[in-house]
């Protein structure tokens, strides 16, 4: 089937979904509509803020649907009226069957892990937090259970030792964009061979990140805390209490891996250049932080204007 003949609806919300949408448009695919989240009220003026995907669709004059309820009869009828052949989903909410089963050629999703590993809402975070050295992206057909559909294509991506969430997010976004285009081309040519996910292996999971997820437990080894910091930087950020104030930590360095007799959570500082925390195993140096009520800054800059009591 020719690109211009295949009618595609794209679903997504955050920046991660913009690159695949742009890639499809640039490659000449016929995106007949975009479905995204409703505008959110932000700032002191409570002005509506549209999603990155909506902004992209508007720029390219593509119709935008923002249903508050994906099961509402009005939305379902509107969706049917487009008579789409295929739906592409990237970083969107869970779809009801009446939506994902509607197009005759199916609905496929891009997921930021090598499925079946790291099913769930936060695969990029958890791959780093768990100290993985590789991850990737997967395209798969949707089915009832989340992230369990038959795999179409996968692309492996290395996780470098000091990469954080922001770094890996960018890499996976670009790799995912290429994979979405590859998947669409294969579906259009009827050259896909869907592969059922292996349910027999022990799987890592990627549940949603909450505030308590980011609380640093100094009894853990330095390497585990370092990975937590990497996996939550720049947002929402790992955090701890220093001198009874909440401190977000964005970058750290392991300076020793051997244990000492100091209490985990205790720290020492010269109040000029460093803050070193004792962990359950090893010592962690805090390199970039944001103390409650302050701006984010490197530790040296912070200490020049603020003193800490060890």
Bind-site residues for (6S)-5,6,7,8-tetrahydrofolate? 113-116
Binding residues: 113-116
Extract the tokens encoding 280. Answer: 């359950």
Q: Which helix (H) or strand (E) holds 254?
A: strand 245-256
Q: What span, in angstroms and rounded, lies between the C-alpha atoms of 252 and 289?
A: 9
* C-alpha 105 chain-centroid distance: 27
- Give Dmax over CA atoms of the chain in angstroms: 70
User: Parallel, antiparallel, or unpaired: how do β-strands 40-42 and 151-158 relate?
Assistant: unpaired
The DSSP annotation for 235-296 comes to: TT-EEEEETTEEEEEEEEEEEE-S--SSPTT-EEE-SSS-EEEE-SBSEEEEEEEEETTS--
Residue 42: exposed, middle, or buried by beta-carbon count in 10 A (0-12, 13-18, 19+)?
exposed
């Amino acid at each position: 089937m020719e690109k211009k003949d295949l009618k595609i609806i794209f679903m997504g919300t955050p920046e991660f979904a913009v690159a695949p949408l742009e890639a499809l448009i640039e490659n000449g695919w016929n995106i007949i509509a975009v479905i995204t989240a409703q505008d959110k009220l932000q700032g002191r003026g409570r002005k509506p803020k549209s999603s990155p995907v909506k902004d992209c669709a508007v720029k390219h004059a593509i119709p935008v649907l923002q249903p508050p309820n994906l099961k509402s009869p009005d939305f379902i009828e509107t969706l049917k009226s487009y008579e789409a052949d295929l739906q592409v989903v990237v970083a969107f909410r869970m779809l009801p069957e009446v939506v994902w089963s509607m197009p005759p050629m199916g609905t496929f999703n891009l997921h930021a892990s090598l499925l079946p590993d790291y099913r769930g809402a936060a695969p990029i975070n958890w791959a780093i937090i768990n100290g993985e050295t590789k991850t990737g992206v997967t395209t798969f057909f949707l089915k009832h259970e989340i992230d369990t559909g038959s795999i179409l294509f996968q692309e492996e991506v290395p996780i470098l030792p000091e990469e954080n969430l922001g770094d890996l997010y960018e890499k996976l976004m670009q790799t995912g964009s290429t994979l979405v285009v590859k998947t669409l081309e294969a579906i259009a040519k009827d050259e896909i061979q869907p592969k059922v996910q292996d349910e027999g292996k022990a799987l890592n999971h990627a549940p949603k990140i909450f505030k308590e997820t980011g609380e640093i437990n100094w009894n853990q080894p330095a390497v585990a805390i370092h990975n937590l910091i990497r996996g939550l930087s720049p947002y929402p950020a790992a955090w701890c209490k220093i001198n009874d104030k909440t401190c977000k930590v964005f970058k750290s360095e392991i300076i020793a891996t051997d244990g000492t007799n100091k209490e985990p959570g205790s720290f020492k500082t010269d109040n000029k250049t460093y803050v070193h925390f004792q962990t359950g195993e090893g010592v962690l140096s805090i390199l970039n932080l944001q103390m409650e009520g302050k701006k984010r800054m490197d530790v040296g800059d912070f200490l020049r204007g603020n003193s800490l009591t060890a």
